[in-house]
Structure 1
Amino acid sequence: MNSQFQQGRSQSIRFLQTETIYEQPFFTPNFDILSISENLYLEKIKKQATSKDQSPQKRQESPNKPQIQQPKLVQHQEIHKDVKVLQVNYNEKAIQPIEIISKPTIEHKQLIGRAKVLLLQQRSFNMKKYFKIATLAIIAAIRIKKSLNYSLWKKYQMQLKNISFFLKLEIVQTERINAWCKAVCAKSLTSVNQQLHNFIDYPNDKEKVDFSMMKSINSLQFLLENLAFFTQPKYFCEELKYYLLSQVFLDHKAYFSRFVSNRTQYLHTKNRQIKQEELTMILVESILVDQILVNIFDSNQKCLFLLKLVASLLQYYFIKKFNKIKQKKTIIQKFSAHQIIQLENKIKLNLILNPLNNELLIIGLYRDEEIQNLLNYKNTTSQQMDQNFERFCCNLYTTILA
C-alpha cells in the first residue's frame, strides 16, 4: 500500500511539474489547481482508512466511492483561444462607459443646458457687481476731490459775514487790536531805556558794541517770546483774528508784496485750495507788517537804531522761514512794498507800488550781512529765537485757520 501511495504521489508531482504549466506560467489553464490538491488529500485519507478492510480491487469496484478526477491537459492553441476571448470581454467592458458618455441621454442634455444657463447668469451678475463697485468708487473719488477743493472756501466764506461786520467797526477794531499789539511789544521796548550804540555803522568801540548787542538781543528775544505766547487761542484778539482771515482772500487783500505773491495765489473763485505753509506765510506777513511794526514805530521808544534793528531781524526770520516755498508761475495781482521813512524822532512806513525786482517786505532796513554779527553773538540765544519764531507761526495758524 505504501508503495502504491508513493507511486501516486510521484505521479501527481510529475504532473504539476509538466513542461506546459512550468514553462508558461503566464497563461490561465482551464482546470482548477485547488480542486486537484483537495482530491489528492481526500484520496490519501480514504486509502489510509480502507487499507485494513478492503483490497485494492474492492475499492475500485465500490459504486458509492467518489472517483478521482484526472487532470485535463490543455493544448497550447486552446489556451490562446481562451485568452483572446477574455481580452475581447475586457475590451467590451472598458468601451461601455465611453459609449455612455459619448451618447448622453435627453436628461443629461437638459442638465448640461441648465448648468450653462446658471454659469452665464452668475458671470453676468458678477460683472454687474464689479461695475457697480467701480462706479461707486469713481463717484466717491470725485466727491472727495470736490470737497477738498471747496472745503477752505466754504469754511472761510461762512465767516466773511463776521469779518465784514467787524471791519465796519473801525474804531472798536483799531482800539482792541492796538491794545493787543502794545501788550506784545511792551516788554521788548521797555527793556531798553537809553540810546544804544550803533554797532553797524560804528563797529570799532568794543565795549559799546558788546553792551549794545546784548541789549538788542534781549529786546528781540522778549518780542518773539511774547508773540509765541499771545498768539495762543485764549490770548488772541478776536477782531485781529477776523482781520487776518480777511487777508487770505484775494478780494479783501489791501496790498501784495512781491515775496509773498510769488509763492501763493490767495483764495478766490478759481483757487479754492491753498497749502498750510502758504496760509501761514500770508498771516505772518499781515500781522508783522500791518500790526506789530506799525505799533513799534508809533511807540514812545526814542532809540531809532533799536526800532530799525528789530524790524530788520523780523524781516530776516520771515524770509528765512518761507524762502523754501516754490514760486508760482501765474500771478494776477500788482505788487507793492513798504519803505521806511526816518524823520527826526520817528520812523514811519510808506507804501510803494510796483517795486522793481525787490522781494523785501520793507525797503530801507539793514541787510543780512550787516546783522550777521549780532546773530552770531551767542549761539544759544539765536537757537532760542529760531524756536520762538517757529512757535509764533504755528500758533498763529492754529488760532485763525485750524
Structure 2
Amino acid sequence: MDLRYTPEDEQFRAEVREWLSDHLAGEFAALKGLGGSGREHEAPQERQAWNQHLAAHGWTCLGWPVEYGGRGLNLLRQVIFHEEYARSNAPARVNHLGEELLGPTLIAHGTEEQRRRFLPGIAGVTELWCQGYSEPGAGSDLAGVRTRARLEGGEWVIDGQKIWTSLAQHAQWCFAVVRTEPGSRRHAGLSYLLVPMDQAGVEVRPIRQLTGTSEFNEVFFDGARTEESLVVGAPGDGWRVAMATLGFERGVSTIGQQVGFARELAGVVATAKANGRYDDPILRDRLAQAFVGLEVLRVHALRTLSAYEAGSQGPEASVSKLLWARWHRELGELAMDVRGGSALTATGSYDLDAQQTLFLFSRADTIYGGSDEIQRNIIAERVLGLPREPRP
C-alpha cells in the first residue's frame, strides 16, 4: 500500500484540523487534554457529551461501512483523523471499546439483528461498552476462562468474575468471553456474549491503582442474564471471535496514541532544558534514543496497518505491542531520571503531576492488552516455528 499522502488527503487533513479548532471551544474548551491512560476519571460525562458532538458531525466510526453508520474512509484518511485529533489535544474518547473493538467485531461476525440493535448506539455514543476478558486466574492466559453461562428459559445465565475491566463503572454493556460447554477446556467451549450491565446480577467494584485512580474494575456475575440471541458467532466459537476483537485492538487509533507519546516526550525534553539536565550527555543521548524509537514505532505501525489492509493476519500486531509498551515504559523511567529527586514527592495528600502519572501507569504497559511474554510466545510459535510451550 502506498503510504504517501495525496493533495486530496492533505485537504482532508486541513478539514479535520479546522473542524477541531472551531469546535474545541466554548463548553468543550476546558476538556482539552483530559482523559487517557491513568486519567479516565477526568470528566467522563463531559467527554461523552463531546463524543456525541463528534458523532452528530460525522466524526465517529470513520472506517465502518456507510450502511452501518460509518463513513467508509480508507486507511490513510483514518490515520489523518487520529493524528490531527491527538495534535489538537482533544480529550480522550470514552467510546473506544465500542467503536474500535466491538463494532468491527459485530460487522465481521455478528448477525444482522445484532448489528441493527447495537451499532447505532455505538456510532451515536449513547451506549458505552466494557470488555469482559481477564479473570483472576486467566489474565494473559485467556483460554483459562472459568466464568460460565448456561441456557435457561431462552436466556444465558452467567456466574463468575472478571477483573481489570476498563470503564465498567460507566458502561451499559459488556462483551464477555465465558465458558458455555460444561467440562470443556482451554479454547474449546467458550462463547462471546453481549451482557447488559444494569441488572441485579452484576456488581462492579473499582480497583484503586498506583496512580490513585480507579479506571479498572472487578466485575462479579451472580445469576446475570442476557438474551439467548446475544451470542456473537456460534455458541462454543467464542475463542475465534475474541481473537478477532483483539486484532481490531491494534487499529488506526494507535497512530493517535503515538502523537500523544510525542507530546509526552516533548514535555520530558522541556523539563530537561528547564532544570539543566539536558546538558548531561548521557541523559541527552537517552532523549535522542527516545525520539528515534518513537519514529520507529510510527513507521512500524503504518506498515502493520498496511499489512492488515492487504489481508495479512501475521505477527505484526504482536511486534507493535512489544515495541510501544517497552518504549513507553522506558519513557516514564526517563521522565523520572530527568526530574531527579523532585519526582519522588507528591503534592497534597497524593496529587500526582502528568509525568509522575506517566511513570506509574506505564509500569503496566508491558502487562495489559497482552503481556510481553504472550506476545513473544506468539512470535516464537507463528514466525520462528518453535514448539508450543508444554502445558500440564
Same-fold call, TM > 0.5? no
TM-score normalised according to structure 2 size: 0.23
Give the number of the structure whose residues are more often strand, by fraction. 2
TM-score by length of 1: 0.23
Structure with more relative contact order (C-alpha pairs < 8 Å, separation 6 or more): 1
Give the structure with the larger helix fraction.
1
